[in-house]
A and B are shown apart, each in its own frame.
Chain A
Amino acid sequence: MPAAVEFRSVSRHFGPTTAPIKAVDGVDLTIAEGAFFAMLGPSGSGKTTCLRLISGFESPTAGEICIFGENVSNTPPHLRNVNTVFQDYALFPHMNVRDNVAYGLMVKGMARAQRYAKAEEMLALVHLDAYGSRKPGQLSGGQRQRVALARALVNEPKVLLLDEPLGALDLKLREAMQDELKSLQKRLGITFVFVTHDQHEALSMADSLAVFNEGKIAQIGTPAEIYAQPKTRFVADFVGSSNVLPPALTQSLGGPAKWSSLRPETLHLDPAGPLQGTVTSLRYLGSGHRIAITTQGQDIAAILPTGTELPEPGQQIRLSFPANALHIMDQA
């Protein structure tokens, strides 16, 4: 069975060839059918460009892209069986919600009664049954987001692309939508490609994810792999703000002379611990406290559960961690 989406050494460079902006640079990627795939990375790392390469609004400057085994290099966006939920939703302001949702069916020539019935079905799916006659301008951000989702899904795409779809929503709504998106994806079995810069979102929603850095994929794997075994310093730092230890420090903790990562939540206070340092800050997180210590010129963060007796800033303390918590990275 072919992969839903496949990138073969795909690059998309902008600007002059002498000094190109390498938005996407030599990306190899395979997204399995039915997967919830996340693209995670800081702003400007090339996530949106990757998505636009799939939808057809950008063409690769090198490499090729296949959708369900078919090379789509010469297929314009309107002929690809792929739909997008845009970052700004891009709802048509002059049409009501029902016409917005039915738009894809309308341009394909479906009769009015039939397409309206389908649109209403989709609106029910996103809990907006009663809103068909409203204009997008009369909806809240979360409702608009659902309309955008329904408008894309009504076309029964093989792949749904979502570009930071929850970015504009407040925290509570975002969490509700995360659950809803996830269960919707499970139910419909459509391949989702989900772009986000929020590592929690990516880790909690995706079946597998790619971490982007400067147009390249830094690591690709399941959330558990990415979280527990970051391959590079960048991944360790970006996904879950791990402590990144230089080779000398790794060695002093009994490891090889390589870069390593150490999760803040694996550290605990221990008078006999191997990590000694001065407490520089103390921050209340709600679920616990985050303390930072300096050791050998390196800042190390630890998350202590509520109930722990807390040290004072300036105090010398020692920390220890389980033997398997120190993760040695292959690459710098």
Chain B
Amino acid sequence: MTAILPAKSLADRLTTLFWRKPNLLLALLITPPLLWLGVIYLGSLAALLLQSFYSIDEFSGMVVREFTLKTYGELLRPQNYDIILRTLLMSAAVTLGSAILAFPIAYYAARYAKGRWKAVFYLGIMLPLWSSYLVKVYAWKLILAKEGILTWAATQTHTNFVLDAALALPGIGGNSLSTSYIGMFLVFTYVWLPYMILPMQAALERVPTSMLEASQDLGATKAQTFRTVILPLAMPGIIAGSIFTFSLTMGDYIIPQIVGNSANFIGMAVYQLQGTAGNTPLAAAFAVIPIVIMLIYLSLAKRAGAFDAL
């Protein structure tokens, strides 16, 4: 009698095994990345957290490996507290600015751009990401400098008064754009904008046209449709984008060094504390702040119903 089924090779046996036990394949595929995530990623985060509960001996400069909240207490000192507040405000401003700039772009790309224009859109968003971050920041420093192209353009078009008025604003103005908070805001917004546009566009693309038509059909004006349908449905994407812009701004230590009035930001503080000062616990405590703020932010967003559309 001849066999009905052909003889099995080793590969056949293996695929049969995976077919009979689908979880085995899943386990094999997912274990390495899980290990990476669990051990290296979350593990180092835990180590960071642990560090923040140590303190530094002021005389020897050595880390004292004993549990204490003293380091967190130091964050409340006026100069540290200022750093936190400054960073928080800048991150919030950058996030808001990016969201406002990104929304029309993302909306156009999701609703209207087709074929070639869609490709142009993706290229336009991604292209700036391909060049070096440092090059972009230095380029912006030149653009914003007192002798830079912006000042020149303002002079040529006799709109210096706008620039001067902006720079005269108390607190955020300054000598020139490149040494003011306004300039820093512009650079941050420029470098993080793609991270806001892409998730927003993905969320908007998932809103079916019939949803917008249903709203109009029921008597809603464009503005009402925007407020009650488009915005809530795009909210998960906006939140995702704002997580990027917010946390990227909170952790950045290069832009505040190059642009602005050299006021300290969390990223810079961490860099200096664990580098030159050797105060790893305080650096760790500083690094925990963005995490805590993000957690608060997300729980508030959830409470406000931002994820209802998920």
Contacts and interface: CB of A to CB of B under 8 A. Distances in A.
Interface of A: 55, 57, 76-79, 82-84, 86-88, 90-94, 103-104, 106-108, 151-152, 155
B134 interface: no
Contacts of A77: 213, 216-217
B155 interface: no
Top 9 A-B pairs, shortest CB-CB distance: A104-B218, A90-B214, A90-B210, A94-B309, A107-B220, A94-B308, A77-B216, A94-B232, A78-B216
Contact of B210 (A78, A86, A152): A86
17 contacts: A57-B216, A77-B213, A77-B217, A78-B218, A82-B217, A87-B210, A90-B214, A92-B229, A93-B233, A93-B309, A94-B232, A103-B218, A103-B228, A106-B228, A107-B221, A107-B224, A151-B218
Contacts of B220: 78, 103, 107
Contacts of B217: 55, 57, 77-78, 82-84, 152
The bracket for how many chain B residues form the interface is 20 to 34
Interface in B122-163: none
Given A83-B218, A103-B218, A57 B213 contact: yes
B221 A78 contact: yes
Contact of B219 (A57, A88, A92, A108): A108
Q: Is the interface of B mostly helix, strand, loop or mixed?
A: helix
A78 B217 CA distance: 5
Interface string B195-226: 00000000000001011011111111100100
A188 B213 CA distance: 25
Contact of B213 (A86, A104, A152): A86
Interface in B215-266: 215-221, 224, 228-229, 232-233
Contacts of B305: 94
A125 B208 CA distance: 28
Given A90-B214, A93-B309, A104-B219, 20 more contacts: A57-B216, A78-B216, A78-B220, A82-B217, A83-B217, A84-B214, A86-B214, A87-B210, A90-B208, A90-B210, A92-B214, A92-B215, A94-B233, A103-B218, A103-B220, A103-B228, A104-B218, A107-B228, A151-B218, A155-B219
Which residue, A55, A104, A107, A155, has most C-beta atoms of chain B within 10 A?
Answer: A107
B111 to A, nearest CB: 15
Given A78-B219, A78-B220, A90 B213 contact: yes
Contacts of A90: 208, 210-211, 213-214
Interface string B66-100: 00000000000000000000000000000000000
Contacts of B208: 88, 90
Nearest to A104: B218
Contacts of A104: 218-219
A108 B228 CA distance: 13
B156 to A, nearest CB: 44
A115 to B, nearest CB: 12
Nearest to B224: A107
Contacts of B221: 78, 107
